[in-house]
Each structure stands twice: as structure tokens, then as C-alpha cells.
Amino acid sequence: MNDIDIEKLQGIANQLRIHSIEETTAAGSGHPTSCCSAADVVAALFFGHMRYNPKDPRYYNNDRFVLSKGHAAPLLYAAWAETGLFPTSDLLKLRTLNSDLEGHPTPRLPFVDVATGSLGQGLSVAVGMALCARLDKLDYRTYVLMGDGEIAEGAVWEAASLAGINKLNNLVAIVDVNRLGQSEATAFGHHLDVYAKRFASFGWRVEEIDGHDMDEILEVLAAVGLGEQPLVILAKTLKGAGISFIQDKDGWHGKPLNKEEAARAIAELQPRAKTGTDVQIPAPSQLPAPNNTAPASYPPLTYKLGDSVATREAYGNGLLRIGTVDPRVVALDGDTKNSTYADKFFKKFPERSVECFIAEQNIVGVATGFGARGKAPFGSTFATFFTRAADQIRVAGISQANINLVGSHVGVSIGEDGPSQMALEDIALMRAIAGSKVLYPADAVAAEKLLEEMAKQKGIHFLRTSRPKTPVIYNNDEKFPFGGAKVLRQNAGDKVTVVGAGVTLYEALKAADTLKAEGIGITVIDAYSIKPLGADVIRAAAQKTNNTVVTVEDHYAEGGIGDAVAGELSVDGIKVHKLAVRELPHSGKPEELLAKYGIDAAAIVKKVKSL
């Protein structure tokens, strides 16, 4: 960029402001003032700095831009319209049902990698993208625009720390310090020094600028990539900048201008506005495309029936087996890799492994970034600690992200560590994520086969693994499609269908033996796929057992397997009796706890007899 025309960029910034005002006034809602504060920075990035192919927003070596302050969506849409990607007239369809120019950005749009709008999540995703660029030996850079208000989110500092540790000098954060939050001023107003000290202490290079001074903006952008640290640009701005009667005033958050105000604002801006459509955007460099191709198949399994293997260890085995032949596999963990067994992969493939330390929001955010760049990321920690990242997982659902989460140490069967370490709510949480798959293997074969499906398919997949060792009960060539279920015991005249999963499947099998000795038959089903549920298999079995089902799960009674089965099958007149953990559990031995909370073989026997 030898010939940057400052006046042109200033003009484009004003054009983006005009679009933002028009869009939100037409919609009758939205955040024009949050757009105006960032307009100069966005104009500089899109029309004077970033290297990308505007006709192909998903090109693999385009610079990436993440709008962490997602409520400034109208500004983002305006920028892309001004590149010529779509007609500027489309902007007036903002927030309508028939346009993908939604209230906050979603990847329904080709130029949006990940959904934003839940504040403070963009930086972590950007860290994932920046790590991915390094892995793929690509020179694209990742830019993330944040608001000053969202800096209060802890997730920002998890990401900032990891970026500093990894010396991501291909990552640039810009903070639009416009001083005003939604309901009051931020805690630090225009005191950029507060933010500067914080980012510096987290390992970042810091630049402070006037966010409305195009010279200053371009000067700091020209120095992007220097040094070994990630760069944060703290831009002092005014909310509503460019609109004389609104800028820097309280009470204008999330409020469109009425038609008269809009006309007055546009009259102020129009004389200094210029189009961006004639700007020649610099092309990204030509580098080899990353290898994101799945192999035709994975190496076979070698378990023997009766082997005693915890499903969490099978995860470690499987990740290594699959990752050895699948270059898309990336592993992430939060300082639990010796418990989740992710360390098997970490040791063999350190370049494709990311230690996120004890920061679970980062595991999910960084994984989302890798997924958005074509990888098959597998994040692992104790299942209950994924609850720490529940909002990132929710937003991954909105992003239609490609992430695999593997949570170990589920339920009371972990034993002595006590309730803080027991996942008893994870099924409920993960089922309620848009488009998610929830999987719960009982043995090592099921775990590894499900892992293969997770790697092959795109989407949000959650695998629930257990701490105790369990015997291998499936042959190595057994298939485990999503949405299936396995009938393990079934005889004519069975009284009840018992649905178990994970450790409770073995309790159901034990109960079947006990009951058989007393002349009572039960059908036993392994519900390894909780969402989608193997409903057809369970229904068919139930219809042969007096329409009576007992579910037994190492999870709370709410939102888990019992609710899933009842929620789908009650319409068929099937009665679902739930055995589940119904009170806050205590520390103890696994078998003591299964008994105390009524989910062991004895509890199943008792329930079946009572029906």
C-alpha cells in the first residue's frame, strides 16, 4: 500500500456511518452509535490494510476479521457491501426474516466465520485462527474488534493470556474504547492506560491511538506483525462519532435514530462521504492450501472382548489412532490431559496440540477458531468443567461450528472427589445446544467408533466418557451411527425395557442376570446416542414390554436420558420410569454412590419388580 489516500479512507468511514444509520433506522432497532465509534478503524482495515479477496470471503489465506462486538453488525455489513460483495441496497433489509443480515452476525453470511453477540468471545476464537495460520504455514492475519465494555468478560483475559504465551504476532486486537456501556459509562472511561497496563501484563504489545485519526490508525497498522507479541490497538473513540448531536452522549446505546434524526445525521456526514467500491483491495499472498482432507478410513481397532478399559482412556487411544492419519485433528485440553488421556496425542503431535491451561472457555473458543479454518478440533477436560464454557458452546451452536468436545469423569461414578468434579448436568446442557450431537459410550469400542464419526462429520459433538474401567462388550467391527441404540438383551415375554448408557449399562446387565434367576426377563438397551436418540429402537423394544421403560443414568433427573426418552416416546403411550441422581451427591466410593443414589443394579431390580 504505497498510495494510501487518507481522505478517501475518512470518506469511506463516513459512508459506513451513513449505511449504519440507514440500516438501523429502517429496521427500527439496532446499535448505530456503536457502529459510528468504530467506523474509522473498520474503514482502515477493510479498505487500507487487510489483504483478502473480497469476492471469495472464505479463501484460505484471506486475513480474518472477527467482530467480537457483534452489535456493531450494521457496520460490518456496510463494509462488505462497500467491497462490492453484495448490493448496498440489501443493507436496508437488516434484521428482517428474509435477510441474513441479522441483528448480530452469524455464519449464515459467507464473510462471518463465527457468530458473535455474546460479548467477550471473539478474542478466544481469534486465538484459535491465529494458531491455525501458524500450523498451516499461512501468512494471513487475524483481526478482532472488541468493545471496551466487553473487556470486563473473563473470557477476554483467558484468551489474552494464551495469545501472550504463544507469542501470536499474527493476531491483532483492536479495542473500540468509546467509554459508554449500555446502562452507564464503563468503569474506566477514556483511561486507556488502564487497558494498556492490563494487556501489557498479559504479554501483548500495546499501541494507544485516537480511533478517529486516520493517520494514527494507519501508522499502527503498518507496524502489525513486528516483534514477537500479539498486538492490541487501544482506540480512543466517541460513541456515535460523526453525528454532532449524539456523539459521546449517554442514553444512545442500542437505539436507532428516528427518520428526522437520521436525515439530519446523514446531512452532516454526506459531504465528507466516499464510496469504497473503487478501492483495489490487496490480494493475499499465494501459498499452498492447507491439507484439510479426511483420510478414506482409519486404522482398525484391536480390543479384545472383556478387556477392561475406561472410555476416557479409549478416547486417548482413539484420538491418537485417528489423528495419526487425519491431518485435520487438533487436540486441546485444560491441564487435565493426563486424566482425559489427551496426553497420548499431545506427546506424539505437539504441533497439533494446544495446552489451554485451566481456562475452559478458551478450550471451546480456540477449538471454534480451528474448526472455522477447516480443522477437526477435539477439546477435552472433565465433563463438568465444560459447563464453565456453556455460553461458548451455546454460541458455537449459533455458529454452526465444527467442534468435538470430550468430557470425562461423569456422574457419581467418579467417587471420592465429590460433587464439584461430577458431571451431572452435562447431558441437559449439551442436548439444549442447537444442532448438537450427544454421545455416551459404554465401552472402548463404542468410544472409539463414535470418535471416528465425530471426526468425519461436521457439527458440535459431545462425547461423555467415564472414569471407571469397564469391560469391552462390542466387537471391533461393530458400527455406532449417530441416532442408533443397541439391544443387548431381549427375549419374548420380557417385562420391561431398561435403557442404560455408560456405567449404568453394566448395572442394567447385572440386573438382568439377577432378575433372570428369578424368572423375570428384561430387555436391555445401550442408548449410546442420546441426541439424536435411538428412539426407533427403544420404541420397538418398549412396545414388546408392555410399553414400559426404565431409564437409568449417572446424571441428574432433569434433562438427561430419562427426559429425552419420555420426551420422544410418551406420545406413543410409552411409560418411562426414570432412575437418576435426585439429590446433591456426596463423596464416597463409586459403588457406594451408585447404590446410595439409586442407579445401581439393585435399584433397577427393585424398580422392575415394583412395576
Residues in region 447-506 near a second copy by CB under 8 A: none
Q: What positions carry a catalytic annotation?
A: 360
Q: Which of 18, 41, 429, 524 binds a second copy (CB under 8 A)?
A: 429
In three-state secondary structure terms, 332 is: strand
Nearest residue to 458 (alpha-carbon basis) of 136, 133, 107: 107
Q: Which of 156, 168, 257, 446 binds a second copy (CB under 8 A)?
A: 156
The DSSP result for 262-274, as a single string, is HHHHHHHHGGG--
Joined together, the cell numbers standing for residue 587 give 463423596
Alpha helices in 326-464 (DSSP H): 337-340, 343-348, 360-372, 390-398, 426-431, 444-456
Nearer CB in complex with a second copy: 202/298: 202
Answer yes or no whether residue 543 interacts with a second copy by CB under 8 A: no
Residue 497: phi, psi to the nearest 5?
-100, 120
Task: Choose the stretch contacting a second copy; rule: CB under 8 A; options: 78-86, 236-244, 330-338, 466-474.
Answer: 330-338
Task: Choose the stretch contacting a second copy; rule: CB under 8 A; options: 308-316, 431-439, 496-504, 519-527.
Answer: 431-439
Q: Which of 44, 232, 320, 390 binds a second copy (CB under 8 A)?
A: 390
Nearer CB in complex with a second copy: 183/302: 183
Task: Choose the stretch contacting a second copy; rule: CB under 8 A; options: 234-242, 298-306, 422-430, 518-526.
Answer: 422-430
Answer yes or no whether residue 90 interacts with a second copy by CB under 8 A: no
In three-state secondary structure terms, 533 is: strand
Nearest residue to 143 (alpha-carbon basis) of 5, 46, 6, 210: 46
Task: Choose the stretch contacting a second copy; rule: CB under 8 A; options: 15-23, 77-85, 95-103, 210-218.
Answer: 95-103
**Rounded least distance, CB 193 to a second copy, Å:** 10
Nearer CB in complex with a second copy: 189/225: 189
Nearer CB in complex with a second copy: 521/567: 567
In one-letter notation, the amino acid at residue 442 is A
Q: Which of 18, 42, 115, 445 binds a second copy (CB under 8 A)?
A: 115
Helix axes 6-27, 73-83, angle to 10 degrees: 120
Answer yes or no whether residue 258 interacts with a second copy by CB under 8 A: no
Q: What are the beta bridge partners of residue 353?
A: 331
Q: How far is CA 232 from the centre of its chain?
A: 23
The full length of the chain comes to 611
Q: In this structure, what is the dihedral angle of CA atoms 596, 597, 602, 607, given to the nearest 10 degrees?
A: 140
Nearer CB in complex with a second copy: 274/431: 431
Residues 136-155 that bind a second copy (CB under 8 A): 149-150, 152-155
**Rounded least distance, CB 385 to a second copy, Å:** 7
Task: Choose the stretch contacting a second copy; rule: CB under 8 A; options: 84-92, 228-236, 311-319, 391-399.
Answer: 391-399
**Rounded least distance, CB 545 to a second copy, Å:** 14
The DSSP result for 452-465, as a single string, is HHHHHS-SEEEEE-
Residues 546-565 that bind a second copy (CB under 8 A): 556-560, 562-564
Q: Which of 102, 136, 313, 507 binds a second copy (CB under 8 A)?
A: 102
Nearer CB in complex with a second copy: 14/121: 121
Go through 542-579 and write b for each residue having 16 or more CB atoms within 10 A of its CB, e for each that does not.
beebebbbbbbbbbbbebbbbbbbbebbeeeebebbbb
CA distance 268 to 157: 39
CA distance 406 to 411: 14
**Is residue 246 within 8 Å of residue 212, measured between CB atoms?**
no
CA distance 111 to 83: 12
Nearer CB in complex with a second copy: 155/446: 155
Sign of CA dihedral 28, 32, 34, 39: positive
Nearer CB in complex with a second copy: 27/301: 27
> Which positions from 170 to 199 touch a second copy by CB under 8 A, shown as an x/- string?
-----------xxxx-xx------x--xx-
Q: Which of 66, 130, 243, 398 binds a second copy (CB under 8 A)?
A: 398
Nearer CB in complex with a second copy: 278/572: 572
Q: Which of 96, 270, 285, 491 binds a second copy (CB under 8 A)?
A: 96
CA distance 80 to 284: 17
In three-state secondary structure terms, 339 is: helix
**Rounded least distance, CB 431 to a second copy, Å:** 4
Cis peptide before 532 (omega within 30 of 0): yes
Nearer CB in complex with a second copy: 31/274: 31
**Rounded least distance, CB 524 to a second copy, Å:** 20
Size of the site for a second copy (CB under 8 A): 114
Residues 347-386 that bind a second copy (CB under 8 A): 355-361, 384-385
Distances (CA, A) of 346 to 21, 317, 319: 49, 12, 10
Go through 149-180 and write b for each residue having 16 or more CB atoms within 10 A of its CB, e for each that does not.
bbbebebbbbbbbbbbebebbbbbbbbbbbbb
CA distance 554 to 581: 7
**Is residue 370 within 8 Å of residue 330, measured between CB atoms?**
yes
**Rounded least distance, CB 343 to a second copy, Å:** 7
Residues 11-50 that bind a second copy (CB under 8 A): 27-30
Q: Which of 3, 89, 97, 267 binds a second copy (CB under 8 A)?
A: 97
**Rounded least distance, CB 108 to a second copy, Å:** 8
Q: Which of 119, 163, 220, 364 binds a second copy (CB under 8 A)?
A: 119
**Rounded least distance, CB 429 to a second copy, Å:** 6
> Which positions from 562 to 591 touch a second copy by CB under 8 A, shown as an x/- string?
xxx-xx-xxxxxxxxxx----xx-xxxx--
In one-letter notation, the amino acid at residue 219 is E
Query: If you search the block for the grid coordinates 461423569, which residue do you land on?
Result: 410
Q: Which of 82, 113, 158, 452 binds a second copy (CB under 8 A)?
A: 158
In one-letter notation, the amino acid at residue 125 is V
Nearer CB in complex with a second copy: 56/572: 572
